């Protein structure tokens, strides 16, 4: 799959996001692809592009139970406005929550474990039936994403980042051109929006994702890291290629 990812990167990586999405949804992974969305600050652009190609594309939303109320309301608004036909709320396993986070305070004690229970494990379950999934990650978001490729192999599956090479100005122009609804918290300085206990507004000169897990070493929840591959293996998810 690594070789295939490199091949796709060479042949399609420099295409426009709309062309990449159309290729992926209608040809390369037709009927076997989903998109993962946090319905965060910049989610509208990718979802609008996908809806234009196929509004029935499965949209996987990790409902951690820790989102801002504004995010849950925005999820509804955006899904209705774009005509998304298949938004799936992916929940953590009840028994895992009961056993490991009975009081809902795990994010204060062990953020990695909290993210595993609420994001990584549910994400692995959600993408297991698909051969590929799309994300809204961009190179400019953080130093840790500066070399992000459009096509990435994740075990036997493909992760596709159609907006990887877009800049903030491209997103802004697209959102304005299509009059896309904005996440209400962006007006308060939130530029990357995750769970409420682990997100703060971003200050002038900071990375877009500086408000996530601020004050800790943590920079990613784990759904884009190797832990996901390990979890997929543990689930015994079959090769989708």
Q: Which residue numbers are catalytic?
A: 221
Q: How far is the CB of 119 from ligand SF4 (least distance, A)?
A: 5
Dihedral angle at the C-alpha atoms of 13, 82, 37, 74, nearest 10 degrees? 140
> Scanning the structure block, which residue is given the tokens 């590929």?
132
- Altogether, the residues listed in the chain come to a count of 241
Distance CA 233, CA 227 (A): 10
The CA distance from 39 to 37, in Å, is 5
Backbone region of residue 74 per phi and psi (left: phi > 0; alpha: psi in -120 to 50; beta: other values)? alpha
Contact call for residue 48 and ligand SF4 (CB under 6 A): no
Q: How far is CA 91 from the centre of its chain?
A: 15
Which one of 75, 118, 137, 191 is in contact with ligand SF4 (CB under 6 A)? 118
Annotated binding-site members for [4Fe-4S] cluster: 114-115, 195, 198
The count of chain residues that interact with ligand SF4, using the rule CB under 6 A, is: 13
Nearer to ligand SF4, 54 or 207 (CB): 207
Q: How far is the CB of 123 from ligand SF4 (least distance, A)?
A: 11
Q: How far apart are CA 43 and CA 97, in angstroms?
A: 27
Written as six digits, the tokens of 45 are: 């652009």
Nearest residue (CB) to ligand SF4, 97 versus 128: 97
Does position 114 interact with ligand SF4 (CB under 6 A)? The reply is yes
Please, which residues have CB within 8 angstroms of residue 167's CB and are 6 or more apart in sequence? 138, 140
Nearer to ligand SF4, 181 or 201 (CB): 201
Nearer to ligand SF4, 107 or 141 (CB): 107
Identify whether the C-beta of residue 220 lies closer than 8 Å to the C-beta of residue 194.
no
Instruction: Work out how close the CB of 138 gets to ligand SF4 at its nearest, in angstroms, rounded to a whole number.
Output: 19
Q: Which C-beta is closer to ligand SF4: that of 29 or that of 116?
A: 116
* Contact between 57 and ligand SF4 per CB under 6 A: no
- Determine the Cα–Cα distance for residues 4 and 171; give it in Å rounded to an integer: 28
Name which of residues 138 to 157 contact ligand SF4 (CB under 6 A).
none
Cα distance between residue 63 and residue 93, in whole Å: 11
Out of 23, 57, 71, 107, point to the residue binding ligand SF4 (CB under 6 A).
107
Helix pair angle (69-82, 43-53), 10° resolution: 30
User: Per rule CB under 6 A, is residue 41 in the interface with ligand SF4?
Assistant: no
Site string for ligand SF4, 190-229 (x = CB under 6 A): ----xx-xx----------------------x--------
Give the residue ranges of the annotated binding site. 114-115, 195, 198
Q: Which residue is nearest to ligand SF4 (CB)?
A: 195
Helix (H), strand (E) at residue 90: strand 87-90
Binding site for ligand SF4 (CB under 6 A): 64, 66, 107, 111, 114-115, 118-119, 194-195, 197-198, 221
């Amino acid at each position: 799959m690594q070789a295939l990812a490199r091949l796709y990167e060479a042949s399609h990586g420099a295409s426009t996001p709309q062309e990449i999405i159309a290729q992926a949804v209608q040809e390369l992974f037709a009927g076997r692809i989903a998109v993962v969305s946090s319905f965060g600050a910049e989610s509208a652009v990718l979802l609008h592009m996908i809806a234009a190609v196929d509004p029935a594309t499965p949209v996987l939303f990790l409902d951690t139970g820790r989102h801002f109320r504004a995010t849950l309301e925005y999820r509804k608004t955006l899904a209705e406005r774009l005509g998304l036909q298949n938004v799936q709320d992916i929940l953590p396993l009840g028994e895992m929550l009961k056993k490991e986070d009975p009081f809902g305070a795990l994010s204060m004690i062990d953020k990695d474990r909290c993210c595993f229970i609420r994001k990584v494990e549910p994400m692995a379950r959600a993408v297991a039936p698909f051969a590929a999934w799309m994300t809204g990650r961009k190179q400019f978001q953080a130093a840790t994403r500066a070399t992000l490729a459009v096509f990435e192999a994740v075990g036997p599956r493909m992760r596709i980042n159609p907006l990887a090479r877009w800049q903030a100005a491209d997103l802004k122009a697209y959102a304005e051109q299509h009059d896309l609804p904005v996440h209400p918290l962006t007006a308060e300085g939130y530029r990357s929006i995750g769970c409420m206990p682990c997100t703060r507004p971003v200050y002038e000169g900071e990375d877009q994702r500086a408000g996530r897990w601020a004050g800790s070493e943590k920079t990613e929840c784990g759904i884009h890291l190797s832990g996901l591959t390990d979890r997929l293996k543990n689930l015994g998810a079959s090769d989708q290629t």
